[in-house]
Amino acid sequence: MGDITFKKYLEELKKHTPYNFCDYSDNSIQRRIEKILKDHDMDMNQLLLKTKTDDDFVEKLVDDITVNTTELFRNPETWEYLYTKVFPSLRKKKSINIWHAGCSTGQEVYSNLILFNELGLLDHTNVVATDINQKVIRGAKKGEYDLNFNNRYIEVFDSLMNKLGNKSSDFGKYFEMNNAKDTMKVKDFIVKKPKFRRHDLVEEEIPFYQKFDVIFCRNVLIYFNPELQLKIVRKFYDKLYDGGVLVLGTHEALHGFFKTKFIKHGMVYTKSNTFHFKYK
């Protein structure tokens, strides 16, 4: 890999750019950097030089380092639980605040808002959705996806609606399908709802003044080392109302102190002030 190690490179990246990947888990970041070197036919010294001198390259680098895989109604069982047990309890609130941290290209946000619409909760809901990667935020704002590739989510949607007793609900209510262009676009009444913005969970304070009823941070913590995960979960804990809910990805979990501060159901963690795990 040339003269400098990938760890040293990450420290330099932190010094010269707004990005700090030092506490991402070693395996995944190392693999990504190795791929970048190969794709650009560079050694570590050349990569560092380019990083220090070319801002556009740095943005492209962030795009290559972050993993942006996402899908509509990912892990339907989590949505089913949210729809039947969590979201209805928000009905009594005057306004509902939701944050999608690490939202990628927006499919998670739109899945959430479609279910909110089905429950009649859309009007009094505020949604912020953030990601470190500028490019995915641009895509999320557009809400336009490749139809061929995403076709199968119509089935996921129908099966979820069947299970939830909304058999008459129709995917076409939420998406404009264009077979000629091979696109499906989220309709305006949904697409206009979230405030999408770039935000780095690691380096920036949480800029939102309000507390949240639900924070989604699915398949993001998995890329961080355990210390960084703890630091971010502490921020989420502080930003949740009592009884508020944190939703994680299937391969993620709370550890240590915060395990005692949430009640777990599947991937859904409800903030609780009692040390329930301790006394069970």
Residue ranges that bind ligand SAM, judged by CB under 6 A: 66-70, 74, 102-104, 108, 131-133, 136, 200-202, 218-220, 223, 249
Token readout for 5 is: 């190690």
Q: What are phi and psi of 213, to 5 degrees?
A: -85, -35
> Is the Cβ of residue 182 or residue 200 nearer to ligand SAM in the bound state?
200
Residue closer to ligand SAM by CB (options 30, 260) is 30
Q: Where are the alpha helices (DSSP H) in the chain?
A: 6-16, 26-40, 44-53, 55-65, 76-81, 107-118, 134-142, 147-150, 152-163, 188-191, 226-239, 276-279
Which of 2/81 has CB closer to ligand SAM?
Answer: 81
**Contact yes or no for 95/125 (Cβ under 8 A):** yes
Query: Between β-strands 262-265 and 268-271, what pairing exists: parallel, antiparallel or unpaired?
Result: antiparallel
| Position 74, amino acid | R
Which residues are registered as beta bridge partners of 270? 245, 263
CB of 245 to ligand SAM, least distance (A): 15
Q: What is the DSSP string of 162-183?
A: HHTT-TT--GGGTEEEETTTTE
Is 72 or 190 the residue whose CB approaches ligand SAM more closely? 72
Are the C-beta atoms of 82 and 247 separated by less than 8 Å?
yes
- 223 burial (CB, 10 Å; 0-12 / 13-18 / 19+) is buried
Q: Is 235 exposed, middle or buried (0-12, 13-18, 19+ CB in 10 A)?
A: middle
Residue number, 7 or 251, with CB nearest to ligand SAM? 251
Q: How far is the CB of 219 from ligand SAM (least distance, A)?
A: 4
Q: How far is the CB of 7 from ligand SAM (least distance, A)?
A: 18
Task: For residue 236, give both structure tokens.
Answer: 């989420």
The minimum distance between CB 49 and ligand SAM, in angstroms, equals 24
Question: Smallest distance, Å, CB 75 to ligand SAM?
Answer: 8
State in angstroms the smallest separation of the CB of 280 from ligand SAM.
Answer: 29
The distance of Cα 121 from the centroid of its chain, to the nearest Å, equals: 21
CB of 248 to ligand SAM, least distance (A): 9
Query: Scanning the structure block, which residue is given the tokens 């492209």?
Result: 60
How far, in Å, CA of 236 to CA of 105, rounded? 21
Minimum distance, C-beta of residue 185 to ligand SAM, in the bound complex (Å): 19
Indicate the residue among 125 and 130 with the shorter CB distance to ligand SAM. Answer: 130
Shorter beta-carbon distance to ligand SAM: residue 165 or 207: 207
Q: Which is nearer to ligand SAM, 51 or 78 (CB)?
A: 78
